[in-house]
Amino acid sequence: MKKILFAIVVCLLIGAPFALKPYGIYLLSLWAVMAIAAIGLNLTLGYAGQISLAQGSFVGIGAYAAALLTTQGWPLWSAFVLAALLSLAIGWLLGYPALRVQHHYLAFVTLSFATLVFLVLRNEEWLTKGVYGISGIPRPTLAGWSAKSPLAFYFFCLAILALVAAATWWLVRSPWGRAFTALRENAVRADSLGVDTRRYTLMAFAIGSALGGVAGVLYAPLVQFIEPTAFNLNLSLNLLLMVMVGGAGHFLGPFLGAAVSVLLPEWLRFSEGLYLILYGAAVMLLMAFCPSGLLGLAERAGRVFK
Amino acid sequence: MAGVATGGIYALVAVGFVLVWQTSQAINFAQGEFVMLPAFLVLAAMKLGLALPAALAAGFALSLLVLGLLFKRVVVDPILRHGVLPLVISTLGLSLFLKESVKEFYAAEAQAFPAVWADTNLTVGEAVVSAQSLVIIAVAVAAVGLLQWFLAGTRTGRQMQASAQNPTLARVLGIPVERMILYTFLVNAALVALASFLVSPIYLAKFTNGETLGLAAFVAAIVGGFNQVRGAIVGGLLLGLADNFVAAYWSAQYRAAIPLFLLIAVILWRPQGLLGRAEERTV
Amino acid sequence: MKEVLQVRGLAKAFGGIRAVDGVSFEVREGEILGLIGPNGSGKSTLFNCILGQLAPSAGEVRIDGRAITGMRPCELNRLGVGRTFQLLQVFPQLSVRENLILAGQEHQASMWARLVGRRDAGLGEAADRMIGFFRLSALAQEKAGALSYGQQKLLDVAMAFMAGPRLVLLDEPAGGVNPTMLAGLRERLREINAAQRATFVVIEHNMEFVMSLCTRVLVLDQGRIIAEGPPEAVRADPRVVEAYLGH
């Protein structure tokens, strides 16, 4: 049953864009990009149990890395490398507070970090051009095939998403995934079993943040013009919302959460202001009845019907 | 002086935030929007024809109802048993709900908010001080002073403190803990309403006001130590002072970074805050 | 016979309260040492000091002659020290089998090798054997959180042994286990003790369990050792009787 559903969705993802207008294709691409960032956060938060309110800033770091490099003529893959390494390193450092404090304190440290990054992006005009932003970000060409058209770029994003999903699937099912779960469920016990909780915590932050950076590298050529406000605290909070609404710790959670956050507002466009009000209310309701998100809800429903 | 005034407002918001956290373990990410809303309630009351004093009273009462009672019963109580994170997400949803509701049902543009003080400056010795700053400081000091007296000097206040420190023991002693928790929510609602009336004349009432104020509240609370109300006051004042000091003598652009540096520094070197007590890790 | 564990002058004070007040003892390889005493005598504190959960106020702990005072729990585990907890500590969202694999995986190869290697880190068969040994076969795929208390206890003990430790500290392993399972638990412990030449230190309140399992018993009262020797001798010792009656 699940496999059929999965196959249908994959077919839709590949086939539907051909029937959509450029804006629709743009939305799907945006969904793919946000899903990558959400997958990263889901690793840190959902699997390893570490709260991070800074994922949006890593998207920003990746986006600016891509924008700065490609507008200077460098190929996109160099941006991927730089963004990934930078986000990995900074994410690792961000993990250190997590070793000292938990939960709400960690939330605030990561929150501050996110805002700090935003301030740097906004104020360091010599590097980022500040509020004027960077425009004319080119889309890549891979071995002669141009990813410039909306459709082509969408498939590029989809391909990266597939790669990220596969790698994450492998990670989550490996001993590392088991260690992350142990870290989340009972860090003290994990410690006593030889799990180096310190290292795994830092790893969870590093990898999750790196994926945020990767998403950013795709975001820049997607929107082709970036400025700092796109990467402020709101993005981090949105990503957090995506992960929780989709279902933290569920593999498909980020996909669903990103869809709800990116696609739903558009489908309900006619009621724009009202939509956000309803969304806010819906989030509150969901958390009251099923804190394990939509997938948790589906799981529950599945058990009821068995 | 302006720094102390700002600090006073931050302190009000931070104290309420810490009180709610202490008694119910609820981190209210919508606290900023809680400060934004009361002003709009007053404006709406005035649109309906009420004079300023009546509108202020109406706004205050409504705030108590919505941000105190309803918030506790409808939002916090159902979710609290699920843990910290779902409640955090829920308050995020709430902040969005409040923000967009005001934007949609009232106005997107900034609104002027009437001040209850005169727009004058006084000269005290060598310094020039605005009446505005004085009023804010006076009100904030009075409010916090009143609160401190209430918590330490009255029976209900002491019961509230007991409920916050050890709810199980408090129940055993016959203290109506649920009601005490409700009182803290009401106190928070009163404090944010007060802060709203003080800050809106200066910064105008806008649906986006919550964003900066909320963050400042969290920082003040943490810098002072999550466990202590006194700490929140100190935190708020420090923040207000640092904020204005930096703006005057340093890059105005990084003004907002100061609270954040303070925050990170405090959390890393003294997680229990400046006045808080360290929480022992239990096995 | 080799001394696996050496504790010298260990003390731990919490403010003015001396929970552990100068405790010294050794444990020889293959021994099953029981640690008993009335409530509040400092048994758990002693354990936590040995295991790196608490930093002792004074004294030192050596394992195989090597000072381990203040080492982190995960480092201790890599040295071959295992433990069970008084409050149940299994991983509820993982299956029984997964719990066991987790318990041993950090000892297999390096962290990086484990990322690219087999999903079960080569421990699949070992886990299955442990499941069989503890008679948990029917529950292998069940989420640990769904097990009964007694079954979780067995799992907890099994997890402590997955990495083939030299020294295992068991904190009230019989607590809350019904009598029928108790005999089985005792047998399993005896078998592992013989097969792996593992050394045990057991905190227990269940006198019968202690007396029938342990080869030597230490009695703690108010942070100090008041008696030591074979189970029957200790049980009859008047000082021990008084310590228990006096509380």
Smallest CA–CA separation between C210 and chain B, in Å?
A: 24
Note whether residue B220 is domain-resident: no
Q: Using alpha carbons, list the distances in angstroms from residue A196 to A29, A92, A163, A185, C220.
A: 38, 15, 28, 14, 33
pLDDT at position B236, please?
67
Smallest CA–CA separation between B270 and chain C, in Å?
A: 20
CA distance linking residue C32 with residue C51, whole number of Å = 17
pLDDT at position B283, please?
28
CA distance linking residue B158 with residue B172, whole number of Å = 15
B107 touches chain A (CB under 8 A): no
Amino acid of residue B76:
V
Note whether residue B250 is domain-resident: no
Q: How many residues does chain B have?
A: 283
* A279: chain B residues, CB-CB within 8 Å: 93, 96
In sequence order, the 6+-apart residues with CB closer than 8 A to the CB of C125 are none
Per-residue pLDDT of chain C (247 residues; tens, 9 = 90+): 678 888 888 888 888 888 888 889 889 888 899 988 888 788 888 888 888 778 888 888 888 888 887 788 888 888 888 888 877 788 988 899 999 988 888 887 788 888 888 888 788 888 888 888 888 888 888 888 888 888 888 888 888 888 888 899 998 888 878 888 888 888 888 888 888 888 899 998 888 888 888 889 988 888 888 888 888 888 888 888 887 776 5
Question: Do A192 and C91 count as a contact with CB atoms less than 8 A apart?
Answer: no
pLDDT at position B205, please?
80
Question: Do C119 and A175 count as a contact with CB atoms less than 8 A apart?
Answer: yes
DSSP letter for C143, please: B
C51 touches chain A (CB under 8 A): yes
Beta bridge pairs of residue C28 = C3
Residue B146: give the domain boundaries. 2-209
Give the nearest chain C residue to B282 (CA atoms).
C53
CA distance linking residue C135 with residue C158, whole number of Å = 11
CA distance linking residue C217 with residue A129, whole number of Å = 74
Please indicate whether residue A278 or residue C246 has the higher confidence score (pLDDT).
Answer: A278
ipTM above 0.85, yes or no: no
* B283: chain C residues, CB-CB within 8 Å: 48, 53, 85
Judge whether C155 and C146 are in contact, CB under 8 Å: no
Beta bridge pairs of residue A142 = A145
Residue A42 pLDDT class (50, 70, 90 cuts): very high
Query: Helix, strand or coil for residue C61?
Result: strand
pLDDT higher than threshold 50 for residue B281? no
Tens of pLDDT, residue by residue over A86-140, are 999 999 988 887 887 777 778 877 877 887 888 788 878 888 888 888 888 888 8
- Decide: residue C99, CB within 10 A, 0-12 exposed, 13-18 middle, 19+ buried: buried
In sequence order, the 6+-apart residues with CB closer than 8 A to the CB of B236 are B7, B8, B9, B10, B11, B12, B13, B14, B15, B220, B224
- Across chain C, the runs of DSSP E, i.e. the strands, are 3-14, 17-28, 32-36, 58-63, 66-67, 81-83, 167-171, 199-203, 216-221, 224-229
The token pair at A262 is 């990116």
Give the nearest chain B residue to C49 (CA atoms).
B283
pLDDT higher than threshold 60 for residue B253? no
**Cα Rg for chain C, rounded, in angstroms?**
18
pLDDT higher than threshold 70 for residue B122? no
Which secondary-structure segment (H or E) carries B124?
A: strand B121-124
Residues of chain B above pLDDT 90, percent: 13
Note whether residue B15 is domain-resident: yes
Domains of chain C listed by start with CATH number: 30-54+70-246 (3.40.50.300)
* A193: chain C residues, CB-CB within 8 Å: 74, 77, 82, 102-103, 106, 159, 163
Across residues A166-178, what is the average pLDDT?
92
pLDDT at position B280, please?
36
Please, which chains are in contact with B (at least 3 CB pairs closer than 8 A)? A, C
- Each domain of chain A, given as residue ranges in start order, spans 24-134+143-230
pLDDT at position B223, please?
63
How many structural domains comprise chain B?
A: 1
pLDDT at position B232, please?
63
Task: Give how far the C-alpha of residue C241 lies from the chain's centroid of Cα atoms, to the nearest Å.
Answer: 25
